[in-house]
Amino acid sequence: MFSANRRRFLRQVSSAGIACSANLAFGRFLSAQTPTSNSGDLARVYVDTRRTLAPIDRNLFGSFLEHLGRAIYEGIYDPGSKLADSNGFRKDVMDEVHHLGVPIIRYPGGNFVSGYNWLDGVGPKQDRPQVLDKAWNALNTNQFGTNEFMAWCKAVGTEPLMGLNLGTGTAEQAAALVEYCNVEKGTRWSDLRRKHGYAEPYNVKHWCLGNEMDGPWQIGHMTATEYGLKAQDAARQMHAVDPSLQLIACGSSGPFMPTYLEWDREVLEQCYDYVDALSLHRYVGNTAEETGSDSSKYLAMNLSMEKQIGETLAVCDLVRGHKRSPKKLWLSFDEWNVWYRARSGDAVNGHGQEAPHLLEEVYNLEDALLVGGILNSLIRNADRVKLACLAQLINVIAPIMTNPNGMFRQTIYYPYSWALQFARGSVLNLVVESPTYDVSGMGQVPYLDVAGTVSPEDGKVSLFILNRDLSKAHAIEVNWQDKSPARTLSSVLLTGDDLKAFNSFEAPQKVSPKTLDKPSIAGGRAKFEVPARSYAVIQWGA
Ligand code: AHR
């Protein structure tokens, strides 16, 4: 039955460290194949609401706004716009972000932060300098800075995740920004904030100690040991100002780095005791190098990200062992997305202009399906990944695009909005049996990628289902192991004939959600079909 090219069934168990096979390499959740499966093409999902992995931290579905291209200027701040309020904030964008319910937003970078002097962006606007941002070769007028960001966060109902400059910036400057943001009064920097007209402290909890410091492209790039020592110094000074901070050290920029994992280990050897989390980043593309431009491999790339999570955790726990530390770090996947088209030349060079059109990636259907798969991977790893940011939010590799007259939703908006809407409570420890297909370099990959959540308050169960099969629908039987829900509450679906279809201002609804026929429940089972090339979310209620 298991000749290399025959379709197989794979049993996917969504808990960490379950029994393994060759497939373990593709994720902490993958488990042994079930050689006895005789269920034809039917996939089975076993749900037991008593078996959960971890509560989901809402910050798992955060996002990111960098001073880059038209993300801040024109995107969220455009005082000359007919759509702006008296603060210069785009009202339509604020409404959309508020409606999405984004819990946390990283700011101000990204590569930008490593050359940013936060003092340039505070105080009277007429006194703020125009500065050349050397990360993206763009002009920053500094009309939007820390206080404007805090006001915008409050208005859209989100929390700030503040990035610190550990490139050209010093540990002292990092601690000064903490003091400016979090101390009530009576110190140099808190009194400066008050002088600027903001009496109340912001109490920002989460801070990133620099950005991608392993990358030779990063302003102030240094060795792992140098960075680890600088992060330790910054953490100690910041904690002296506010001991309640949650601090995230910079991990590897991705598995493509020659220093991948070794960087993480060396950094943590220096600063493990002083930080709470380690960051990881990942951008995926359907390119000749990465996937052979093969969409069926592309749709499996979330499993490669899951492997990255497992490897990064292994390093954290190795250093924990070295240190004999009682503390377990969590992961901050604070940049992830599809990004491969707008990645070179004029797409990344602002030519000294204000708000240039940079990184304006156009997302198609297959990108949205993969984003759904990535969200499934994040959900399955919610026991250790406590924060993650879809990079980014507006105009720059973003789900929301604006022009002077309005905005539209890119394809990737939909799976992201469904995670925000439906992934609540705790992650279910599902057992999934799925037929599989062979992917070069990855082995057998399940056609159906499933994650699930249960909300303890109201008992609502949601399943998030990616069907990677490009040509066939698949039948799924959900088996309720403890109690069967009374009804199906909702079922949303993204699918289409053309994997390359995309939305635009001219055709904003080309790729848009459909409804899946609501599955009926009988005898503790629900049976339904998911179309080829699809991502679906179904929610059941007591
Ligand atoms: O999100 C775009 C860029 O990607 C960020 O500035 C950087 O951190 C990463 O390389």
Q: What percent of the chain has a predicted confidence (pLDDT) above 90? A: 90
Assess whether 213 and 249 both reside in one domain. Answer: yes
β pairing state of 385-390 and 330-338: parallel
Beta-carbon-side half-sphere exposure of residue 70 (alpha carbons within 13 Å): 20
The reply to whether ligand 1 has any atom less than 6 angstroms from the CB of 211 is yes
Q: Looking at the CA of residue 211, tell me the nearest atom of ligand 1.
A: 8
Please, are residues 457 and 36 in contact by the beta-carbon 8 Å criterion?
A: no
Q: 59: CA distance to ligand 1 center in Å?
A: 19
* Longest CA span, the chain: 74
Beta-carbon-side half-sphere exposure of residue 92 (alpha carbons within 13 Å): 17
Catalytic residue (choose from 148, 159, 335, 433)? 335
Assess whether 259 and 232 both reside in one domain. Answer: yes
Residue 42 lies in a domain: no
Ligand 1 atom 2, closest CA: 110
Q: 211: CA distance to ligand 1 center in Å?
A: 8
The reply to whether ligand 1 has any atom less than 6 angstroms from the CB of 66 is yes
Check if 311 is active-site: no
Check if 477 is active-site: no
- The rounded mean pLDDT for the chain is 93
Q: How far is CA 157 from the centre of its chain?
A: 18
Token couple for 160 = 């700030």
Assess whether 202 and 331 both reside in one domain. Answer: yes
Which DSSP letter does residue 450 get? E
The reply to whether ligand 1 has any atom less than 6 angstroms from the CB of 391 is yes
Ligand 1 atom 9, closest CA: 110
Residue 39 lies in a domain: no
Q: How far is CA 256 from the centre of its chain?
A: 18
Please, are residues 282 and 228 in contact by the beta-carbon 8 Å criterion?
A: no
Assess whether 474 and 344 both reside in one domain. Answer: no
Buried b (16+ CB within 10 A) or exposed e, 507-535: eeeebebeebebbebeeeebebebbbbbb
Ligand 1 atom 5, closest CA: 110
Q: Looking at the CA of residue 215, tell me the nearest atom of ligand 1.
A: 10
Question: What pLDDT score was predicted for residue 41?
Answer: 78
Q: 466: CA distance to ligand 1 center in Å?
A: 27
Residue 41 lies in a domain: no
* Distance separating alpha carbons of residues 217 and 136, to the nearest angstrom: 11
Assess whether 357 and 387 both reside in one domain. Answer: yes
Assess whether 293 and 253 both reside in one domain. Answer: yes
Token couple for 209 = 């100690």
Question: What pLDDT score was predicted for residue 542?
Answer: 82
| Beta bridge mates, 530 | 474
- Look at the chain and report how many structural domains it folds into: 2
Assess whether 408 and 435 both reside in one domain. Answer: no
Please, are residues 163 and 118 in contact by the beta-carbon 8 Å criterion?
A: no
> Strand runs (DSSP E) across 98-239, as ranges?
104-107, 131-133, 138-140, 159-163, 206-209
> Which of 423, 448, 483 is the last residue before a domain boundary?
423
Q: Looking at the CA of residue 391, tell me the nearest atom of ligand 1.
A: 1
- Site to probe by mutation for ligand 1, drawn from 106, 140, 161, 335 as the one with most ligand atoms within 8 Å of Cβ, is 335
* Distance separating alpha carbons of residues 495 and 366, to the nearest angstrom: 9
Residue 43 lies in a domain: no
The reply to whether ligand 1 has any atom less than 6 angstroms from the CB of 214 is no
Q: Which of 103, 127, 108, 110 is nearest to 118 (CA)?
A: 108
Q: Could you report the per-residue pLDDT of 194-229, keeping only the tens digit for each?
A: 999 999 999 999 999 999 999 999 999 999 999 999
Ligand 1 atom 6, closest CA: 110
Ligand 1 atom 7, closest CA: 110
Mean pLDDT to the nearest integer, 259-266:
98
Q: Looking at the CA of residue 68, tell me the nearest atom of ligand 1.
A: 6
Assess whether 357 and 504 both reside in one domain. Answer: no
Count of residues for the chain?
542
Assess whether 383 and 249 both reside in one domain. Answer: yes
Q: Looking at the CA of residue 109, tell me the nearest atom of ligand 1.
A: 6
Token couple for 508 = 């904003």
Question: What pLDDT score was predicted for residue 514?
Answer: 94
Assess whether 405 and 512 both reside in one domain. Answer: no
Checking if the pLDDT of 408 tops 60, the result is yes
> Which of 404, 423, 442 is the last residue before a domain boundary?
423
Checking if the pLDDT of 322 tops 80, the result is yes
Question: What pLDDT score was predicted for residue 463?
Answer: 98
Mean pLDDT to the nearest integer, 334-346:
97
Q: Could you report the per-residue pLDDT of 81-114, keeping only the tens digit for each?
A: 999 999 999 999 999 999 999 999 999 999 999 9
* Distance separating alpha carbons of residues 232 and 235, to the nearest angstrom: 5
Residue 80 lies in a domain: yes
Token couple for 411 = 């394809």
State the pTM of this model. Answer: 0.94
Mean pLDDT to the nearest integer, 388-398:
98
Confidence of residue 519 (pLDDT cuts 50, 70, 90): confident
Residue 361 lies in a domain: yes
CATH number at residue 233: 3.20.20.80
Catalytic residue (choose from 212, 266, 306, 366)? 212
Please, are residues 375 and 464 in contact by the beta-carbon 8 Å criterion?
A: yes
Q: Looking at the CA of residue 66, tell me the nearest atom of ligand 1.
A: 6
Domain that holds residue 175: 4-33+57-423
Residue 472 lies in a domain: yes
Question: What pLDDT score was predicted for residue 6?
Answer: 37
> Which of 423, 456, 475 is the last residue before a domain boundary?
423
Ligand 1 atom 4, closest CA: 110
Q: Could you report the per-residue pLDDT of 13-62, keeping only the tens digit for each?
A: 543 332 222 233 333 334 323 333 334 479 999 999 999 999 999 999 99
Assess whether 414 and 454 both reside in one domain. Answer: no
CATH number at residue 451: 2.60.40.1180
Residue 51 lies in a domain: no
DSSP letters, 324-362, are T-S---EEEEEEEEE--SS-SGGGG--TTEES---S-PP
The reply to whether ligand 1 has any atom less than 6 angstroms from the CB of 109 is yes
Assess whether 337 and 189 both reside in one domain. Answer: yes
